[in-house]
Chains A and B, each alone.
Chain A
Amino acid sequence: MTSSTLLSIITFVYGLSAFIYIFSWVFKKPEVARLATWTAAIGFIGHAAGIIWRWNESYGLGIGHAPLSNLYESLIFFAFSLTLIYLIIEYKYRNQIIGAFIMPLAFLTMAYASLSPSVSNHIQPLIPALKSNWLIAHVIACFIGYSAFAVAFGLSLMYLIKQREVDPPAGGSGWLELFPGKQALDELTHQMVMFGFIFLTAGIITGAVWANSAWGRYWGWDPKETWSLITWLVYAALLHARVRWDWRGKRSAYLSVLGFAAVMVTYFFVNYLPGLHSYGSS
């Protein structure tokens, strides 16, 4: 058994957790959600073990480096930070419906990493450009940012679903009965966006400093750089929009969805464009 086998098992643990969260939401059985939380938490511990194991394996191959160097490893870390942030939020805000919108994202990310034939799970040695102390800081900052934005995206979806509800049915028999209130969702989204924004900023800055020490320029309008800036600009617009009350709520939620779309382009689709970040694609 290798670390990637363990991580494929975690995929199914997360899938199970996501399923229970959704089940508990749709069938209005909040007591079942406890099971989902425990499943997610156990998966998370295995996930952490898998990452450390993989790190150790790379030393066994004589090419030791932090498991943050290719698409597979970045997906694994993305799902890891996503689950971590989610579990903290659930613990802090005591609401388990949010899990029905976040754990499926963690599951899909892990499934893509483990099952897609286009994602290689081989441990590869570091190419010269990646041999830098900035690698760990840059990748961790970016992916914590991405994960926070993913959580904000889930919350915004919940907000947009919730605000369509014109008249909550009396006796609370609606699907949205267990949803947090609109204002709470809006505030929590804002929290997540701020959290993600500071990490995205840190990710862009560490990337710029790194680029300056590797290639002699801190900014070069390479497609990945540009898309990270586009993402930054969208979230910056969202943060400014909140100063005006009429931009809170619905418009903020749409901007948060737009921002997450930009994250997805920055993360995945940019790899189909030519540029310096090509090692993120295989």
Chain B
Amino acid sequence: MAKETVSAGPLRGLYKFFASITLTITLLLVLAATSVIGTLIPQNESPEAYFRAYGEIFYRIFSALKIFDMYHSWWFQSLLILLAMNVVVCSIDRLPGVWKIVFGVRSRFKAAKFKNKPGKTEFLSTEPPSVVKAVAESLVSKSYGHVQVKPTRKGFMIFGEKWRWSRLGVYIVHLSVVLLLLGSVIGSIFGFDGYINIPEGETVDHVRIRGTGKIYPLPFKLRCDDFDVSFYKNGAPREFRSDLVIIENDREVLKKSIIVNDPLRYAGINIFQSSYGEMQAEAPRPAAVSRPEEIVLSLTVSETGMLYQKKTRIGKPFDLPEGLGKFVVTDFVPEAKFMGQPIGEALTGILTPAGGQPVEVTLPLRFANFDKMRKGRVIISVLEPSAGKQMMPVPGKKKRFYTGLEVTSDPGVWVVYSGFILMLAGCFVTFFMSHEQVAVEITAKGKKSLVSVAGTAYRNKMAMQRKVQRLSDKLAAGTKAV
């Protein structure tokens, strides 16, 4: 192993340590086992949540071990670095030898190499060696790119070889692993992962970084013209859509509607549809309290401070206490307004004071003291029905939304993607292409020929035996075997 690279002492020991496949197996299994932890303990929650869930002692232990963000902890990253070094050193250690096999001068085939290969076949052909040779040569060259014919004392040897270069596949996979790790490092150093909520019609020039909440300025301004969410009949969401505009130097340079799975990419920055929400209304939104059957009013007489309750119905007049007049509830208004401001559900009524002109009063369900403003002799407020708690959508009224956007930049992504392609290509070559060699030996036996077929493969030796069998069968059929 690597005699020339490392000379002596602890360095050699270290090199040997990293060149070992036992280290690879160990690291892969340790990475697998430790990765489990982060799927059982939720990651990146608030310290209070962890403290509540695990108690003080475990909180301290987990916290010291960085379990709450374990995939970014020093120890997990160190395992990944060890794996990368292992992969690199192993490849450096083994590649030169493989390189020689793949690109070196083809070693002369030796008959002895195939002598005792498992799956070797033998048959007697009625044709003379020269005829068998021609048939065998054409059969072998059909599946093997490289063919050599060697005359022997009593006949011929025909060798076939293919896919020498497939031995490089595993190094392509190793390179891809290094590219994946490298790409993720580039991303974490030069990229960012942010988010921003933009109310419809508004413009922003920054995002917040996920995790830290720091403000990150964008190289352009971003406006959200509209946000829409649509639903299926069963209530499941169908589509989230934001109409976005990129503004540079007060000029609109790009307009695009983004949906989930179709982001906006501009100047190396990607903008994704991530969430949405409804803007808080300026005043309480009317709830769907239906027209009440029964109404309970509270009546406070200003002068005496006396408090009365009265049960009534819409349209049923009654006498106010202490001879102060008459009152009738005339209507229920689900969305009442006062001086242009929405005040939610309200009752309206007509109060006829003793010896005075009738006045119209509004009694909002949400504001018990509203009627005080009238400065009348009796203050009326509504006890029943109470204001609806749930905010219900009001048909026909357009709500105002904000769109939640994920804004990221990752210059490492192309390195990672090339890693992906190389990994698939390398796995394919490594798993399904094997460096194969076959040898057909033809020996004269009187006017007949004794033929034997043997083969060897770098990988999947069982399949090779079947291939040898098939080749042998074809050859026997083509040369009148007995």
On A, residues with C-beta under 8 Å from B are 63, 124-125, 127-129, 131-132, 184, 187-188, 191, 194-195, 197-198, 201-202, 205, 208-210, 212-219, 221, 223, 226-227, 229-230, 233-234, 236-237, 240-241, 243-244, 247, 262, 270, 273-274
Contact = CB atoms under 8 A, between A and B. Distances in A.
A195 B21 contact: no
Contact of B39 (A213, A215, A219, A270): A270
A176 B63 CA distance: 53
A217 B408 contact: yes
B353 to A, nearest CB: 60
B42 interface: yes
B39 A216 contact: no
Given A188-B462, A216-B406, 14 more contacts: A127-B236, A187-B460, A198-B428, A201-B424, A208-B416, A214-B260, A215-B406, A217-B193, A218-B416, A221-B38, A226-B71, A229-B35, A237-B25, A240-B21
A216 B260 contact: no
A240 B431 contact: no
A213 B35 contact: no
B35 A125 contact: no
Contacts of A236: 28
Contacts of B262: 213
Contacts of B71: 221, 226
A211 B417 CA distance: 13
B359 interface: no
A124 B236 contact: yes
Contacts of B423: 201, 205
Interface in B310-369: none
Nearest to A63: B232
Contacts of B261: 128-129, 131-132, 210, 213-214
Given A201-B424, A209-B420, A244-B21, A226 B38 contact: yes
Given A197-B427, A214-B272, A216-B263, A262 B32 contact: yes
Given A198-B424, A230-B36, A233-B35, A128 B239 contact: yes
A191 B32 CA distance: 22
Given A125-B234, A219-B184, A240-B21, A227 B424 contact: no
Contacts of A131: 239, 259-261
B463 to A, nearest CB: 8
Q: 8 closest Cβ contacts across the A-B interface?
A: A233-B32, A128-B260, A237-B28, A194-B431, A216-B408, A223-B39, A132-B261, A216-B272
Contact of B236 (A125, A210, A274): A125
B427 A128 contact: no
A233 B236 contact: no
Interface string B207-249: 0000000000000000000000000101011111000000000
B24 interface: yes
A124 B460 contact: no
Contacts of B410: 217-218
B424 A187 contact: no
Interface of B: 21-22, 24-25, 28-29, 31-32, 35-36, 38-40, 42-43, 71, 184, 193, 232, 234, 236-240, 259-263, 270, 272-274, 406-408, 410, 413, 416-417, 420, 423-424, 427-428, 431-432, 460-462
Contacts of A210: 261
A240 B232 contact: no
Contacts of A201: 423-424, 427
A254 to B, nearest CB: 12
Contacts of A191: 460
Contacts of A202: 424
B42 A274 contact: yes
A240 to B, nearest CB: 5
Contacts of B432: 194
A234 B32 contact: yes
Contacts of A195: 431
A128 B43 contact: no
A270 B35 CA distance: 13
B438 to A, nearest CB: 19
B481 to A, nearest CB: 23
A237 B193 contact: no
Nearest to B183: A218
A209 B261 CA distance: 11
A49 to B, nearest CB: 27
Contact of B462 (A184, A215, A219, A270): A184
A202 B423 CA distance: 9
A90 B420 CA distance: 33
Contact of B29 (A197, A212, A217, A237): A237
B261, B273, B274 pick with most chain A CB within 10 angstroms: B261
A111 to B, nearest CB: 27
A74 to B, nearest CB: 18
25 contacts: A63-B232, A125-B232, A127-B236, A127-B238, A128-B237, A131-B259, A191-B460, A195-B431, A197-B427, A198-B427, A201-B424, A208-B416, A209-B420, A221-B71, A226-B35, A226-B38, A226-B39, A229-B32, A230-B36, A234-B29, A236-B28, A237-B24, A237-B28, A240-B24, A244-B21
Contacts of B413: 212, 218
B181 to A, nearest CB: 12
B67 to A, nearest CB: 13
A227 B39 contact: yes
Contacts of B25: 237, 240-241, 247
Contact of B240 (A124, A128, A184): A128
B396 to A, nearest CB: 26
B237 A237 contact: no
A213 B427 contact: no
A223 B70 CA distance: 13
B174 to A, nearest CB: 11
B416 to A, nearest CB: 6
Contacts of A209: 417, 420
Contacts of B274: 215-216
A230 B35 contact: yes
A187 B461 contact: yes
A184 B406 CA distance: 52
A216 B193 contact: yes
